[in-house]
Amino acid sequence: MAGFQVVKYLSTSQVNPVTGENQRVTWSVEEEIQLGLDSRQQMAAQHGGLHPDTKDQDLLDRVGERLAASPWVKKSGYPYEFHLLADPDVVNAFALPGGQCFITAALFSKLENEDQLAGVMGHEIGHVVYRHGAERTAKSNFIQGLIQSVMIGAGGDYSIAQVAQVVGQYANMKYGRDQELESDECGIRLMMEAGYDPVHMIGVMDILEASSGGGKVPEFQSSHPSPDNRREKIRSTIEKYEREGIGSVN
């Protein structure tokens, strides 16, 4: 059974049209788009529905479309849409596979300028471009299949099964941190291409850290990198893209 899970996982390979990388994903681009369209209303409902302020929504659309106009992003083939959610309490932004991007009113209201909004939405576009949702789903299904195989092979010895499950959870956490850093890098690239100041991404990290109430979880136990690590990566990424001559800053 474990061997079957390995073969199944290794056979699900597709080339990302933007990055050119070989990825383990099970969904096609068309399936991702349809999944996002089918799920957007449900996701909005979980956060109080769409925000009624059309002025703020217009700003979000303008910023999002400016970022998504990047020739690099257009290679993905996704129809990007941006949604301002009414949730006044949960500070969050997220993206569904296929180009549906969301930000809550709680986070939107804390942002200090358009550049920071561009940083947040550029990060979410990054999750879509890199197909993180499809990639993580394929990996999660693979790990769960292995865990089930271990549980059966253990013959009821749940101590062994629990160890396998913990290993699987940590594997997914590390994978999640890599995704977040990758999306940060994408957000910086898109900001610079669109003429936004990428340094404001550091201000976004400050806002997210303050919103967490100051509580810190050891990085190896968190699905997100530590704020300090993300700030350091942001600075080095800005320097790298400046050397490469990507974009321009107003």
Q: pLDDT tens across 22-40, in order?
A: 887 878 889 889 989 999 9
**Contact, 85 vs 105, CB < 8 A?**
yes
Q: Which residue has the higher pLDDT, 4 or 84?
A: 84
pLDDT for position 214: 54
Q: Look at residue 250 and tell me if it is in a domain.
A: no
Residue where the block lists tokens 């396998």:
164
Q: Look at residue 177 and tell me if it is in a domain.
A: yes
**Residue 125, exposed/middle/buried by CB under 10 A (0-12, 13-18, 19+)?**
buried
pLDDT for position 31: 86
pLDDT for position 200: 97
105-138 pLDDT, tens digit each: 999 999 999 999 999 999 999 999 999 887 777 6
Question: pTM score > 0.75 for this model?
Answer: yes
User: Cα–Cα distance between 190 and 184 in angstroms, integer?
Assistant: 10
The average pLDDT across 61-67 equals: 98
User: Cα–Cα distance between 154 and 77 in angstroms, integer?
Assistant: 45
Q: Is the pLDDT of residue 246 over 60?
A: yes
Cβ within 8 Å of residue 77, ≥6 positions away: 17, 29
The tokens of 110 are what? 């804390």
Cβ within 8 Å of residue 47, ≥6 positions away: 85, 86, 87, 90, 92, 102, 104
pLDDT bin (cut points 50, 70, 90) of residue 147 is: low
CA of 249: how far to CAs of 44, 127, 233, in Å?
33, 23, 19
Q: Is the pLDDT of residue 67 over 80?
A: yes
Helix, strand, or coil here: 1? coil
Give residue 35's Cα distance to chain centre.
Answer: 16
pLDDT for position 136: 76
pLDDT for position 149: 60
pLDDT for position 189: 97
Range of the domain at 176: 2-244
Q: Look at residue 33 and tell me if it is in a domain.
A: yes
* Number of domains, the chain: 1
pLDDT bin (cut points 50, 70, 90) of residue 20 is: confident
pLDDT for position 2: 53
pLDDT for position 248: 54
Phi, psi of 154 (to 5 degrees): -75, -10
pLDDT bin (cut points 50, 70, 90) of residue 160 is: very low
pLDDT for position 250: 42
Q: Which residue has the higher pLDDT, 212 or 104?
A: 104
**Contact, 135 vs 126, CB < 8 A?**
no
CA of 218: how far to CAs of 5, 169, 182, in Å?
31, 15, 20
Instruction: Identify any residues that bridge with 94 across adjacent strands, giving them in sequence order.
Output: 102
Torsion over CA: 201, 198, 190, 222 (sign):
negative
pLDDT for position 216: 52
166-205 pLDDT, tens digit each: 444 544 444 478 889 999 999 999 999 999 999 999 999 9
Angle between helices 158-194 and 227-244 (to 10 degrees): 40
**Contact, 131 vs 97, CB < 8 A?**
yes
pLDDT bin (cut points 50, 70, 90) of residue 233 is: very high
User: Cα–Cα distance between 59 and 115 in angstroms, integer?
Assistant: 12
Nearest to residue 190, comparing CAs of 111, 53, 74, 108?
Answer: 74
Q: Look at residue 32 and tell me if it is in a domain.
A: yes
Q: Look at residue 249 and tell me if it is in a domain.
A: no
